[in-house]
């Protein structure tokens, strides 16, 4: 998997052009806080989209992140993933 440089990155541009592994990397960026603050909702969203695009590793990461989230956070992440998939 290629490492995405998150310094000054436009994540919407990366997300639009990324393959499933790139989307997994976006999830990791948000899960670890590499781009600033940790954002588990965003991480879950990108793991969901990567899993939808066939990345098996994203399913595992999504489960790990979900264990640290509330039901409301998970629901928000799932809505965001559905919205993104619908519009892209």
The answer to whether residue 3 is domain-embedded is no
9 pLDDT above the threshold of 70: no
- Average pLDDT of the chain is 87
The pLDDT value given to residue 1: 42
Q: What is the pLDDT of residue 58?
A: 97
Q: How many domains does the chain have?
A: 1
Rounded average pLDDT over 59-83: 98
Q: Does the residue 27 lie in any domain?
A: yes
CB atoms within 10 A of CB 61: 20
5 occurs within a structural domain: no
Q: pTM of the entire structure?
A: 0.83
Q: Beta-strand (E) ranges in the chain? A: none
Of the two residues 25 and 35, the one the predictor is more confident about is 25
Confidence of residue 88 (pLDDT cuts 50, 70, 90): confident
**Residue 62: inside a domain:** yes
∠26-31-33 over CA atoms, to 5°?
90
Domain of residue 50 covers 11-87
Average pLDDT over residues 35-53: 94
Q: Does residue 68 fall inside a structural domain?
A: yes
In a 13 Å sphere around the CA of 29, the CA atoms on its Cβ side amount to 23
């Amino acid at each position: 998997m290629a490492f995405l440089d998150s310094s000054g990155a436009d994540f919407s541009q990366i997300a639009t052009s990324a393959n499933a592994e790139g989307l997994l990397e976006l999830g990791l960026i948000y899960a670890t806080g590499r781009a600033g603050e940790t954002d588990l909702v965003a991480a879950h969203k990108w793991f969901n989209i990567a899993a939808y695009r066939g990345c098996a590793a994203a399913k595992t990461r999504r489960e790990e992140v979900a264990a640290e989230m509330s039901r409301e956070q998970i629901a928000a992440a799932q809505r965001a993933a559905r919205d993104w998939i619908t519009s892209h």
